[in-house]
Amino acid sequence: MTDSQATAAGLETAKMLLHIKAVNFRPQEPYILTSGWASPVYIDCRKVISFTAERRRIMDLAVAQLEDKIGFANIDAVAGGETAGIPYAAWIAEATSSSMLYVRKKPKGFGRNAQIEGHMEPGSRVLLVEDLATDGASKLLFVNALRDAEAQVSDAFVVFFYGVFSGALDSLKKEGITLHYLATWRDVLQAAEQGSHFPPETIDGVRAFLADPKAWSLANGGKGE
């Protein structure tokens, strides 16, 4: 997949997310994300599960990118992170005739006390799948659980990556993880401007956030480091 194809896929994904109203711009009332960052933008990728045409197209783009970047011949299983990553992992596994797993945030606390659900042989090459990533930190919880179960994990995929907090990809790379994704907030901003989805003052507020997200977060009640 060339850079221009990746850019086109990002913009197409962003347009679909806007179309199904999965994107929220609210600079006047910032969201506080689970990662602690304050953000004027919020995306709900869980909405995709209800829209058949958009879901299928997003998965087509995801599979094409992953086949190009990794190759499914090099993957033994696709693992969804609890809970939002599970449907995406299921769709990717089905489309590629791959084995599927899912990873709990913590062991279930009874029975086998399992954190990894499904069958996985030791040494299996596993692709971690989630819906989105902000600063990448939550991915390591699932990666470590898979590695503790003797999986080999070097790649993760999300539909949407915030792509604004510096060091997010570096922190994953330091742990030996390459993050693959379709769209970022810059794709969404471009698509929103083209489609006149929001008033100009709202777009300006989002642009200010993208120019310096850490300072914007700190000034609006979130963390800044």
DSSP 57-112: HHHHHHHHHHHHHT-GGG-SEEEEETTTHHHHHHHHHHHTT-EEEEE-SS--SSTT
User: What was the pLDDT predicted at 93?
Assistant: 98
User: What was the pLDDT predicted at 112?
Assistant: 57
User: What was the pLDDT predicted at 97?
Assistant: 97
Domain assignments of the chain as residue spans, ordered by start? 3-214
Q: In DSSP terms, which residues pair with 78 in a beta bridge? A: 100, 127
Give the right CATH number for 3-214 from 3.40.50.1820, 3.40.50.2020, 3.40.50.300, 3.40.50.450: 3.40.50.2020
pTM value surpassing 0.85? yes
User: What was the pLDDT predicted at 113?
Assistant: 54
In Å, the largest CA–CA distance within the chain is 55
User: What was the pLDDT predicted at 109?
Assistant: 55
User: What was the pLDDT predicted at 110?
Assistant: 52
135-154: b or e for each residue (b if 16 or more CB lie within 10 Å)? bbebbbebbebbeebebebe
User: What was the pLDDT predicted at 164?
Assistant: 83
User: What was the pLDDT predicted at 55?
Assistant: 97
Task: Quote the CA–CA distance of 219 and 44 in Å, as a whole number.
Answer: 24
User: What was the pLDDT predicted at 111?
Assistant: 45
* Percent of all residues in the chain with a pLDDT value above 70, rounded to a whole number: 97
User: What was the pLDDT predicted at 3?
Assistant: 74
User: What was the pLDDT predicted at 50?
Assistant: 98
Can you list the residues of the chain whose pLDDT is less than 70?
108-113
